[in-house]
């Protein structure tokens, strides 16, 4: 059975987790090689873009940021904020395009890596998402949100051991987060299925295979199926401890 992880409830819920970082990056940006008049124009556009965002007018804000990156191609925060807006509008391809450009200007900006990783994840491009989410976490290991998305991404890549390790660390930091325990349970179930597949390859009709099959069915609340498997295990190995 292929693994399907729980997708984020909405793109907006994910990207808002990084919005404060993007704003902070914008405030600390530097315009490189700009004339005074050009810099003044860029700063004016930047203020207008932020105002449009605050007024709930993303289309105007996007247009302003697009103009900014043309006028000031070294202004890394503009790419970051533009990518954030595209992500909010579920324009994932555009977000990927602009964030990739931004990372060429500011390759160490953690929020840009996180946003790009989310964009790829939303496009189901899990292999492409992984290195960017990992880069975001290397820069900020305490970023629980990036860690959660990475765990989901690893599960989608069927790297269940790595996903389990990621979720275990998160669960220690957020023991009250029910979603973490749900995802961890699903990952453990997939690991059990993988173990059963390997056991089947060795001996598909052994008592151990039937007992493991019963345990998996029991975990899935398929009690009738579990009972059949447990009976087969007992018939094949009546003296095995615990079978009865």
The pLDDT score that the predictor gives to residue 138 is 93
How confident is the model over 74-81, as a mean pLDDT? 88
Here the CATH number for the domain that contains residue 38 is 1.25.40.10
Q: Cα 195 from chain centroid?
A: 26
Three-state secondary structure string covering 152-216: HHHHHCCCHHHHHHHHHHHHHHCCCCHHHHHHHHHHHHHHHHHHHHHHHHHCCCCHHHHHHHHHH
Give the percent of the chain with pLDDT over 90.
44
The pLDDT score that the predictor gives to residue 167 is 95
Cα 101 from Cα 161, distance rounded (Å): 33
* pLDDT digits 0-9 by tens, 154-192: 999 999 999 999 999 999 999 999 999 999 989 988 888
Domain presence at residue 131: yes
Question: Which residue range forms the structural domain that includes residue 20?
Answer: 11-159
The pLDDT score that the predictor gives to residue 157 is 96
In which band, very low, low, confident or very high, does the pLDDT at 125 lie, cut at 50, 70 and 90?
Answer: very high
Domain presence at residue 97: yes
Domain presence at residue 132: yes
The pLDDT score that the predictor gives to residue 28 is 39
Domain presence at residue 107: yes
Q: What is the pTM of this model?
A: 0.72
Domain presence at residue 234: no
The pLDDT score that the predictor gives to residue 222 is 81
Domain presence at residue 45: yes
| The pLDDT of residue 139 is above 80 | yes
Cα 7 from Cα 13, distance rounded (Å): 11
| The pLDDT of residue 127 is above 90 | yes
In contact, 75 and 31? CB cutoff 8 Å: yes
Number of domains in the chain: 1
The pLDDT score that the predictor gives to residue 29 is 40
27 or 228, greater pLDDT: 228
Q: What is the mean pLDDT of the chain?
A: 82
Domain presence at residue 208: no
In which band, very low, low, confident or very high, does the pLDDT at 13 lie, cut at 50, 70 and 90?
Answer: low
| The pLDDT of residue 129 is above 70 | yes
Domain presence at residue 143: yes
- Planar angle of CA 169, 171, 175, nearest 5 degrees: 145
The pLDDT score that the predictor gives to residue 14 is 52
How confident is the model over 144-151, as a mean pLDDT? 93
The pLDDT score that the predictor gives to residue 237 is 76
Give the percent of the chain with pLDDT over 70.
84
Cα 82 from Cα 27, distance rounded (Å): 14
């Amino acid at each position: 059975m292929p693994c399907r992880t729980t997708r984020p409830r909405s793109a907006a819920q994910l990207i808002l987790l990084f919005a404060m970082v993007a704003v902070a990056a914008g405030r600390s940006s530097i315009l490189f090689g700009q004339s005074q008049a050009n810099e003044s124009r860029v700063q004016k556009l930047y203020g207008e873009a932020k105002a449009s965002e605050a007024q709930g007018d993303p289309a105007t804000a996007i247009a302003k940021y697009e103009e900014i990156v043309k006028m000031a191609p070294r202004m890394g925060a503009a790419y970051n904020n533009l990518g954030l807006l595209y992500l909010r509008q579920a324009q994932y391809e555009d977000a990927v395009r602009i964030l990739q450009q931004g990372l060429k200007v500011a390759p160490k900006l953690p929020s840009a890596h996180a946003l790009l990783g989310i964009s790829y994840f939303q496009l189901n491009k899990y292999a492409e998402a992984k290195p960017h989410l990992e880069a975001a976490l290397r820069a900020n290991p305490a970023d629980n949100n990036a860690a959660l998305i990475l765990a989901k991404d690893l599960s989608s890549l069927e790297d269940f051991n790595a996903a389990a390790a990621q979720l275990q660390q998160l669960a220690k930091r957020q023991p009250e987060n029910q979603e973490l325990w749900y995802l961890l349970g699903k990952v453990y179930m997939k690991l059990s299925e993988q173990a059963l597949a390997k056991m089947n390859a060795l001996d598909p009709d052994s008592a151990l295979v039937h007992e493991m099959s019963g345990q998996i069915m029991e975990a899935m609340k398929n009690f009738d199926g579990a009972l059949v498997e447990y009976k087969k295990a007992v018939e094949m190995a009546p003296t095995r401890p615990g079978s009865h």
